[in-house]
């Protein structure tokens, strides 16, 4: 199981090559306040002085430190390192450069930190990757994070505390991360900022290990026995005490090896019963064991995650397409594919079916039978016609002669006015279908023909050609729909079979009207005169024109000697807008209304059926049939090939990034598969 940590290091190397952190690998994050001894703990684990030191905030970028145990014999055989060097280091950003002088490693860390974070004590979340090879280390992956601070110093931003806190939480929120919470023994453990931050993401303490530093600096008369026994702050992974080198020791060039020997002596003297469960060496073994077990638990989920991402990047890379070799064939293929997908979207056989809303042919069908159909049904056959309008039309149609029957001319005038109202919703139907066919272009570009995204100029040209074709067909279709309504207006077919019943109703009403008038005549009036009509055949009621004239005979200026006797000045007497209708006027209006309604329903049925057919023939089907030839004729030209098939600026870069990431994921999957074959979990 010891080989699990090198496997994680290998996976880290794989993903470092593509600069990606999409996979959360198992690691140990070191958290603590400034000057809590974090750097000393890390140097003790490495066995060498390699980290920058100073006052204030020193660690300003995350340092991902990979410790790789090498056999001393193998280290001597490494020609790149040299026979005299037992341990060495390599940075990711310096590629294959090898550092055998650890002072140079420290200087490179400082230089790389200032290159990104500047020299004003600011921080950055971009990590520095350092790998240490040594026969004196155990296999570990550690992340040194900036120390927790409260007050900004120098040119630090005012929110430096928040920035550092967010950076720490970003790393320790990783469920595959073990938290190494470092706290100085000469501070109150109950106020430990490191443990407080750790509990925010790990409330149960299942992945938190506490380290108590500076055991030799506690006040006289006190000790850390209760703390080391876990009686103050219980931590499930344990609590380990260590002794750091003092600043005087560092100034005097005291080696880490000597410091570890002195630490062991201090623990044996001060805490003899706990000496074998504390100290730097025990901490290294514990971290190694915890990380191995943690890796073993994480690998199955890690393998699944890698396989899912590999499938996603394979699909993404496929959508970017291969570099163009044969331009003519590629252009013709893309044009044909777009035309096919456009037609398939209308027919409902497209590869990508929209689930959020109606699209293509389904929406066109909805426009025909729901939007257009319901709009026509909502058009009132008698809408906009008042009783006075109908009476006025009847009287205008009779001229100066009073009529015995309802004139047909008035019916035609009125019904044409109503039929004309069907033209606007019909033209609106054409507009809606045209808009939907325009939307299909975008649908095909986004979902069905993703290759077009590689070639923005080709995409723009295709959109322009299809839009132009739709634009040319719109007036033709509108003209046809206009003609459909005009055809209905050109000839009012009162002999239409469905209109026969209405005519029968009208004839029955006329006959009934004639019989009623005969009954109302006095017995002294002959029936011949009644049938022929005349002044006595019309009642002289106040609601008739004759009654109005009779009333005028007794008005002012109509005396026996007046020249205006029997004449009414209509300019002085306003015609009433609303009045009570006579029985005949009411019957005439009812007849006209029934005729208009009956004939309007016939025409509306015809329009409801013929308009969708016209739209399909002149717009939809015509575009479907001519789209391929139109695109080829406009775009398939040798002079346009280079321009149309020019990829977008970032497409080549995205293709390379996707290919590199896919290769890295495949390598990672292969590494995990090799471990599985050795039955290591």
Own/partner pairs for 8-12, CB < 8 Å, 24+ apart? 8/141, 8/295, 9/66, 9/68, 9/131, 9/139, 9/141, 10/671, 11/668, 11/671, 11/672, 12/64, 12/66, 12/129, 12/141
Query: How buried is residue 344: exposed, middle or buried, by Cβ count under 10 Å (0-12/13-18/19+)?
Result: middle
Q: Kindly state the tokens that stand for 653.
A: 């870069």
Better-scored residue on pLDDT, 194 or 455: 194
Contact 404, 511 (CB under 8 A): no
Q: In sequence order, what are the residues at sequence separation of 6 or more whose Cβ sits closer than 8 angstroms to the Cβ of residue 620?
A: 346, 364, 433, 437
pLDDT tens profile 233-257: 878 888 999 998 887 887 888 888 8
- The rounded Cα 246 to chain-centroid distance in angstroms is 56
Between 584 and 207, residue with greater pLDDT = 207
Give the pLDDT band (50/70/90) at residue 4: low
Whether 483 has a pLDDT exceeding 90, the answer reads yes
| Beta pairing partners, 28 | 142, 178
Query: Which helix (H) or strand (E) covers residue 453, if one does?
Result: none
Query: 664-678, pLDDT tens digit by residue?
Result: 888 888 877 776 665
- Predicted pLDDT at 548: 36
- State residue 75's pLDDT score: 58
What integer pLDDT is reported at residue 493 of this predicted model? 86
Report helix, strand or coil for 651: helix
Q: List CB contacts of 146: < 8 A, sequence separation 6 or more.
A: 57, 59, 60, 61, 62, 123, 164, 167, 168
Mean pLDDT over the full length of the chain: 80
Of 137-146, 166-175, 309-318, 449-458, minimum mean pLDDT range: 449-458
Is 56 a residue whose pLDDT tops 70?
no
Lowest mean pLDDT among 70-79, 134-143, 661-670: 70-79
Least confident interval from 276-285, 403-412, 630-639: 403-412
Task: Give the residue among 109, 126, 116 at the shortest CA–CA distance from 43.
Answer: 109
Alpha carbon distance 198, 632 (integer Å) = 64
Plot region of 35 (φ>0 → left; ψ -120 to 50 → alpha; else → beta)? left
What mean pLDDT do residues 458-463 have?
89
Percent of the chain with pLDDT over 70: 79
How far apart, in whole angstroms, are the C-alpha atoms of residue 326 and residue 319?
Answer: 18
- Per residue in 538-586, pLDDT tens? 444 444 433 433 444 444 444 444 444 444 454 454 555 556 777 777 7
Contact status, residue 7 vs residue 675, Cβ threshold 8 Å: yes
How would you write 557-594 as a 3-class SS string?
Answer: CCCCCCCCCCCCCCCCCCCCCCCCCCHHHHHHHHHHHH
Highest mean pLDDT among 17-31, 265-279, 384-398: 265-279
Our CA dihedral for 541, 544, 545, 551, rounded to 10 degrees, sits at: 30
Range ranked top by mean pLDDT from 345-354, 379-388, 546-555: 379-388
Query: Confidence class of residue 420 from pLDDT cuts 50, 70 and 90?
Result: very high
């Amino acid at each position: 199981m010891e080989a699990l940590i090198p496997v994680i290091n290998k996976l880290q190397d794989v993903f470092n090559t593509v600069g990606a952190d999409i996979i959360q690998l198992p690691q140990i994050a070191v958290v603590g306040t400034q000057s809590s001894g974090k750097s000393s703990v890390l140097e003790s684990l490495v066995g060498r002085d390699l980290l920058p030191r100073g006052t204030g905030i020193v660690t300003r970028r995350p340092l991902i430190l990979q410790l790789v145990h090498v056999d001393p014999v193998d280290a001597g055989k490494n020609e790149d390192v040299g026979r005299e060097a037992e341990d060495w280091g390599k940075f990711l950003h310096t590629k294959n450069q090898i550092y055998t002088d650890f002072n140079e490693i420290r200087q490179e860390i400082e230089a790389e930190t200032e290159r990104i974070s500047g020299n004003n004590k600011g921080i950055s979340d971009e990590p520095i990757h350092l790998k240490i090879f040594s026969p004196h280390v155990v296999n570990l992956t550690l992340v040194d994070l900036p120390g927790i601070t409260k007050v900004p110093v120098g040119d630090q931003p005012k929110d430096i505390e928040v920035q550092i806190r967010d950076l720490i939480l970003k790393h320790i929120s990783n469920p595959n991360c073990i938290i190494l919470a470092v706290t100085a023994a000469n501070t109150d453990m109950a106020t430990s900022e490191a443990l407080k931050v750790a509990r925010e993401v790990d409330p149960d303490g299942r992945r938190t290990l506490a380290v108590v530093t500076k055991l030799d600096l506690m006040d006289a008369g006190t000790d850390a026995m209760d703390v080391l026994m876990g009686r103050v702050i219980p931590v499930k992974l344990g609590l380990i005490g260590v002794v750091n080198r003092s600043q005087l020791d560092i100034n005097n060039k005291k080696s880490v090896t000597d410091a570890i020997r002195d630490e062991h002596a201090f623990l044996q003297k001060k805490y003899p019963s706990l000496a074998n469960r504390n100290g730097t060496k025990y901490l290294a073994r514990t971290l190694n064991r915890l990380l191995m077990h943690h890796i073993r638990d994480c690998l199955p989920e890690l393998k699944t995650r890698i396989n899912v991402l590999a499938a996603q990047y394979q699909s993404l890379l496929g959508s970017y397409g291969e570099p163009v070799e044969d331009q003519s064939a590629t252009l013709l293929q893309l044009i044909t594919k777009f035309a096919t997908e456009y037609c398939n979207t209308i027919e409902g056989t497209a590869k990508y079916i929209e689930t959020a809303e109606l699209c293509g042919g389904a929406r066109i069908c909805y426009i025909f039978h729901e939007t257009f159909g319901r709009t026509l049904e909502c058009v009132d056959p008698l809408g906009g016609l008042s009783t006075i309008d109908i009476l006025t039309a009847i009287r205008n149609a009779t001229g100066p002669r009073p009529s015995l029957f309802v004139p047909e001319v008035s019916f035609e005038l009125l019904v044409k006015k109503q039929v004309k109202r069907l033209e606007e919703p019909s033209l609106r139907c054409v507009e809606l279908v045209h808009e939907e066919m325009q939307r299909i272009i975008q649908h095909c570009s986004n979902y069905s023909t993703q290759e077009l995204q590689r070639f923005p100029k080709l995409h723009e040209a295709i959109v322009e050609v299809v839009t132009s074709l739709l634009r040319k067909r719109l007036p033709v279709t509108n003209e046809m729909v206009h003609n459909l309504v005009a055809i209905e207006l050109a000839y009012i077919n009162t002999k239409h079979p469905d209109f026969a019943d209405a005519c029968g109703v009208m004839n029955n009403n006329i006959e009934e009207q004639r019989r009623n008038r005969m009954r109302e005549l006095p017995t002294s009036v002959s029936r011949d005169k009644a049938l022929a009509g005349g002044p006595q055949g019309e009642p002289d009621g106040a609601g008739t024109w004759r009654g109005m004239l009779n009333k005028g005979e007794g008005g002012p200026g109509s005396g026996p000697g007046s020249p205006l006797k029997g004449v009414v000045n209509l300019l002085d007497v306003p015609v009433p807008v609303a009045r009570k209708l006579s029985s005949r006027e009411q019957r005439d209006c009812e007849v006209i209304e029934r005729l208009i309604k009956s004939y309007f329903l016939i025409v509306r049925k015809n329009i409801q059926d013929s308009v969708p057919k016209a739209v399909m023939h002149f717009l939809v089907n015509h575009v479907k049939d001519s789209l391929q030839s139109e695109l080829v004729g406009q775009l398939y030209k040798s002079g346009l090939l280079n321009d149309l098939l020019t990829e977008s600026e970032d497409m080549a870069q995205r293709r390379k990034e996707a290919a590199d990431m896919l290769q890295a994921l495949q390598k990672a999957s292969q590494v995990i598969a090799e471990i599985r074959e050795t039955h290591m979990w």
